[in-house]
Structure 1
Amino acid sequence: MDARTGNDPASGTPLGGAVDVHAHFITERLRTAMRDAGITEPDGMPAIPDWDPQSALRHMDDAGIQAAMLSVSSPGVDFGTAGAARQLAHDVNDEGAQLVRDHPRRFGLMASLPLPDIPASLAEAERALGDLGADGIALQTHYQGLYLGDPVYEPLMALLNERHAVVCLHPTSPHCWKETSLGYPRPMIEFPFDTTRAVTHLILSGTVRRYPHISFVVPHAGAALPVLADRIAVFALMQGDSPPVDVLADLATLHFDLAGFALPRALPALLNLTDAKRLLYGSDFPFTPDWAVQGLAHPLVEALEPAIRQDVLQRNARRLFPRLHGHTPRP
């Protein structure tokens, strides 16, 4: 029973008390900043969706979501002005931390960083993971065309590795989206390929291997990685690196959320790439509306074998985020 909403999110609902690692929040300050920057249809979507804490909690109760790890979705907090991006990252992280203080068993925070400003991002990561007690960091696949895995991010990766941080990746529109999206919303086609591009670069650049204490969470059932993994692995061997990059071994160290359309094809392919201990539930609310979240939840729960269902819906996430057990934050 949740004292603030009066509801038991584990009772009679499709997800039975799941932990949602792919949920977004949109504060009024963020919404205003987006509109002031001319962003009213983010990444080609029809509108900035509505969001407020109480409607989010009602949605969670209806779907059976016990806790949601909140992050800022694409296009993030950088709308072209470095100073404004630093302030907006600071503000939305403060607002997210307050939401967690108000609802410590229902919300978590994946903090935003004002990338590609590395010094400011290092300072904000320290503040978020330290003073604010954030549960992790949300990173976009690229910032101004510099993809994760680029050497420019090495100081940040070193810090996140030192802090044993959970890092939830999120796609954004590629720089060339006008030439490649064919006029469709970028989440339709571009987002899966941008995720695949970023994760591939993280592995081939050696970032995943150099920083083993970062827990990367790959969104949307691994995007195109389950289909392309073998192709990437063979091409990696052809590069002649010494020692060669073991793509499949590095992919096996990652975590994958099931936000979006995991069934009927993506989840079986993903289970050929990794095992159920690496899978996490994700809703993508509010960019996926509440009625769609519930519609996707029922077949997902039915498709998960009883032996792995609670791992995927709850236990795997609670291992990543021990605060949800009432434990101390990650070291």
Structure 2
Amino acid sequence: MRIASFNVENLFARAKALNLNSWAAAKPVLAAQAELNALFEETVYTEPTKAEILKQLGILGLLTADDSEFVRLRKIRGRLLKRPRTGPVEVVANGRADWIGWVELKTEQVDELAMQHTAMVIRDINADILGVVEADSRPLLKMFSEALIAEVGGTPYDEVMLVDGNDDRGIDVGILLRNSNPLADMRSHVFDVDAQGVVFSRDCCEYHVDTPSGKLVILMNHFKSKGYSTPGDPIGAKRRERQATRVAEIYNDLQASGVDRIVVMGDFNDDPASTALVPLLGKTDLRDISTHPNFEFGPRKGTFGSGNEKDKIDYILLSPALFAKATGGAVFRKGVWRGPRTKNPWEIYPTLTADVHAASDHAAIYADLD
């Protein structure tokens, strides 16, 4: 059996800001959008809150119009702003109850060749169970499997499942399965809370799979990004640590209930040496498939971007009963762009000739089990 995890970075439509040439260019847009939506939820808009709302609207180019290049101010009911012909813009809403609305990221279609390369990666790793991160929706994920994977000569998956998570950008976690390993049960953890509030910025979706030899449980994750911070989460590492702690609790509860074959996988957005992941990597008996003696990293030790060791952020963790059955695994990089001057280059598809055509910034990772 092959189990894989792949951050597909959206299949059909991606936020325009994320299609910029660099993360540095996208970061201010994503940070301002996230901060504004958090500020909008305040019960009372104090004068400092109103000043911050105006500041972030200015960063996004929304002071004089509801549309800008990368975002849109959606207003459903009530009034947020007063925009006089002369003089400064004012926040006239005094709290969340005065209006309903939000700032949404504009999207644009993913490059057609990039879609094809994503399908080629999935075709070539040919996993029996494939967990995906940043998939648009279940209907689109199912359409992708049936149409695009088949178009490149791959075998479409028999079962496709995805549950909307807590992120409003359509970057959810899902799973694709063959008939021999049908989905038996599932549980979302979007409502899980701790002392600081909601734990998961996306989800830790719990998939129970019937295999020919018994139950297998997949905990599919996408932890908080390192990219920027938001009010209430000034340091992304703290949020990731909370998420790692909760996943470890879910894992331990499953073990206590008698389930011994468990996979925890996905994009954890941090490297193995980080303190944020200690509750999961250091305080449970889970084993990272990349530590297996037959695991093949290729020319780099990371899974994201240029593949540096600090960019090892995609994981497949196995319970002891599963790790004992592991025969190896690998990082599959053919869909990740690299420049012509990259040292220790990895093999890429011949048709991948520019960054815009990359399947993803993430390599796929897989584990092979006997």
Identify the structure with the greater helix proportion.
1
TM-score (norm 1): 0.42
TM-score (norm 2): 0.38
Identify the structure with the greater strand proportion.
2
